[in-house]
Amino acid sequence: MNNFHLKNYIQERKQMIDEHLDSLLPEPGGPSGKVVEAMRYSLSAGGKRVRPILMMAACEAVGGDFNKIMPAACAMECVHTYSLIHDDLPAMDDDDLRRGKPTCHKVFGEAIAILAGDALLTYAFELMTHPELLRAVNGDLVNEAISIFAKAAGVSGMVGGQTADILFEGKDVDGDTLAYIHGHKTGALIRASVEMGALLGGGKEAQVESLSRFGTALGLAFQVVDDLLDVIGDEKKLGKPVGSDERNKKATYPALFGIEETKKRAQDLKNNALDALVSFGAEADPLRAIAIYVVERDR
Amino acid sequence: MNNFHLKNYIQERKQMIDEHLDSLLPEPGGPSGKVVEAMRYSLSAGGKRVRPILMMAACEAVGGDFNKIMPAACAMECVHTYSLIHDDLPAMDDDDLRRGKPTCHKVFGEAIAILAGDALLTYAFELMTHPELLRAVNGDLVNEAISIFAKAAGVSGMVGGQTADILFEGKDVDGDTLAYIHGHKTGALIRASVEMGALLGGGKEAQVESLSRFGTALGLAFQVVDDLLDVIGDEKKLGKPVGSDERNKKATYPALFGIEETKKRAQDLKNNALDALVSFGAEADPLRAIAIYVVERDR
């Protein structure tokens, strides 16, 4: 694992995903071309591709060939992107910028942004039944992956977390509610990415279970560290102002438990994630490196 | 067919769908309960259940047992309902009332309405992989049905039609564009309902093809007659004011081709729909009765 270069690995994977997204998405043009432009605009707005990279890495960890599941990896990025477009809308978080670029509704207007989000979410399920994927993977496994995906994205997952986040804004939030919001809003899709990769890669039940535990810990770690960086991070490295959670009266781990306790929590989650991988060999090194990076990062 | 009572038939089917929707949807409660309330509010706001009834009827027409595909029928109604919630939003058609009741965003606010739409769309795909459906139908057929569903709902179907409808509002629209808007905005889901019912019911390829032609004709007929009733309909029977298309400068068949030509077009489409069913026996009588009703209705 010492010789594993995470930066190169992520760069390579990101490029593969970007190429597949470009070739798998519909082309603009025709009476509905505007919404395709909006879909492509937001998809190419500098996302880090964390979720599809995790799906590909989990597929490899169980000995699968990630090249065969690229439509599913792209589907995951479509759902993540739709959630950002809708979260940024004036009726939701009302954000004008996302990763330094104008948000979808700022460029295309609210109506097209709502439709582009709807279209990306729907397209994800079109991609989950893409002929390429159905040729490579048993139909029952694809059904199971779709079920995991829909549950993680919907009201019992991400949408549920976003709902709670909005309803509790500015209110006092206890540890349980905070865990619910984070576990659902961010955690559900991250765990689903890992589970789907393991499942579609042909993982055995015990492997999928271990990777599911890995995904749960990683998803929480991701959010805990995000909260932490918003308090103790370096604005220059982060490329965005810190302290926004406090200004927006968002419930966070540091606000609820203090900085030291939150740091400890992040380390514990990293260890939980790594523990879930003990039965895996070197094929899981990318997942290990990602877990360490997520917690040790300074941006 | 003379003894077929469409009114009773529709009433019975509607009740079955309503009961299944109630039992298959999540229960309100918990931190995200508000969005479940909003989903249930819009689902129970008096929809006619046209699409799920068509899916069940198509399933029967090929000799299938519609009881086995109820999760798919409910999934179709979820997608239809999500599309109404999002279409009614201030950034889209900005409607305060839908079937005489306040629209979702009027009751729950815009943020929850957007999320309720997202949740219903996502839940549709959760229902498409419901254990009940997967036990009854071969997994490959389910994947095929999901593919048809996602294409019909997404940017190459309903979302594409809605996009064009918004972009062309108030502009001169030719016959081709009008056919695109209607064929996609309303037609795609109606055709998909029939195709999915036939496919999940175990229909042979030729049967699915015939029913697909039926669905295409029916979907267009539905919209042509809607346009017509907005010009020559009786406000009392319709339960809504007529002339709204002209006031909203919406492109319609009567505006483009005149009333007589539009009436003729509706009759032609009815005949096309009935022609597509010639190879079917009495099992297709409900579909025949629906096609006749759609064109002859006065509301």
DSSP notation for B57-117: HHHHHTT--GGGGHHHHHHHHHHHHHHHHHHHSTTTT--SEETTEE-HHHHH-HHHHHHHH
- Quote the pLDDT of residue B1: 53
Which residue, chain included where needed, has tokens 């999002």? Answer: B86
- Quote the pLDDT of residue B92: 94
Which of A94, A115, A120, A167 should one mutate to test binding to chain B, selecting the residue with the greatest count of B CBs within 10 A?
A115
3-state class (DSSP) for residue A97: strand
Query: A123-132, A234-243, A247-256 — which is least confidently predicted?
Result: A234-243
Domain boundaries, chain B: 6-296
Structure confidence at residue A296 as a pLDDT band (50, 70, 90): very high
B114 vs A35, A86, A184: nearest CB:
A86
Residue A255 or residue A82, greater confidence? A82
- Residue A62 sits at the vertex; the CA angle it makes with A58 and A67, to the nearest 5 degrees, is 65
pLDDT at A1 exceeding the cut of 60:
no
Tokens encoding B203: 């229909």
Give which of A125, A71, A143, A21 is closest to B153, Cα–Cα: A125
Per-state percent for chain A, helix, strand, coil, to nearest 5: 75, 0, 25
- Quote the pLDDT of residue A17: 98
Strand ranges, E, within chain B:
97-98, 101-102
pLDDT at B267 exceeding the cut of 70:
yes
- Quote the pLDDT of residue B137: 97
> Could you report the per-residue pLDDT of B2-60, keeping only the tens digit for each?
557 999 999 999 999 999 999 999 999 888 999 999 999 999 988 899 999 999 999 99
pTM of the predicted model over 0.90: yes
Q: Which helix (H) or strand (E) holds B246?
A: helix B244-247
- Quote the pLDDT of residue A3: 59
Q: Write out chain B residues lying below 8 Å of A87, CB-based.
A: none
Give which of B237, B132, B224 is closest to B178, Cα–Cα: B224
Q: Write out chain B residues lying below 8 Å of A161, CB-based.
A: 32
Chain A: closest CA distance from residue B5 (Å): 37
Segment 119-178 of chain B within 8 Å of chain A by CB: 119, 121-123, 125-126, 128-129, 134, 138-140, 142-144, 146-147, 149-151, 153-156, 159-164, 166-168, 177
Is B9 part of the contact surface with chain A (CB cutoff 8 Å)? no
3-state class (DSSP) for residue B44: coil
- Quote the pLDDT of residue A251: 79
Structure confidence at residue B298 as a pLDDT band (50, 70, 90): confident
- Distance of alpha carbon B259 from alpha carbon A182, whole angstroms: 57
- Distance of alpha carbon A133 from alpha carbon A249, whole angstroms: 44
pLDDT at A275 exceeding the cut of 90:
yes
> If you average pLDDT over every residue of chain B, what do you get?
94
**Cβ pair A50, A191 in contact under 8 A:** no
Structure confidence at residue A100 as a pLDDT band (50, 70, 90): confident
Q: Write out chain B residues lying below 8 Å of A81, CB-based.
A: none
Chain B: closest CA distance from residue A44 (Å): 18
Query: A141-145, B38-42, B180-184 — which is least confidently predicted?
Result: B180-184
Q: Write out chain B residues lying below 8 Å of A151, CB-based.
A: 126
**Cβ pair B123, B25 in contact under 8 A:** yes
Query: A57-71, B159-173, B246-260 — which is least confidently predicted?
Result: B246-260
Query: A214-218, B72-76, B94-98, B230-234 — which is least confidently predicted?
Result: B230-234
Whether B150 and A122 lie within 8 Å, measured CB to CB: yes
Whether B122 and A155 lie within 8 Å, measured CB to CB: yes
Query: A1-5, A12-16, A263-267 — which is least confidently predicted?
Result: A1-5
**Cβ pair B260, B187 in contact under 8 A:** no
pLDDT at A196 exceeding the cut of 90:
yes
B143 vs A114, A143, A180: nearest CB:
A143
Tokens encoding B75: 């999934």
Q: What is the ipTM of this complex?
A: 0.96
Cα diameter, chain A: 56
Give which of A221, A160, A218 is closest to A192, Cα–Cα: A218
How is B168-218 classified by DSSP, letter by letter? Answer: TTTS---HHHHHHHHIIIIIHHHHHHHHHHHHHTT--HHHHHHHHHHHHHH
- Quote the pLDDT of residue B3: 59
Structure confidence at residue B196 as a pLDDT band (50, 70, 90): very high
Segment 256-295 of chain B within 8 Å of chain A by CB: none
pLDDT at B246 exceeding the cut of 80:
no
Looking only at the bridges linking them, the beta strands covering B101-102 and B97-98 are antiparallel
CATH of span A6-296: 1.10.600.10
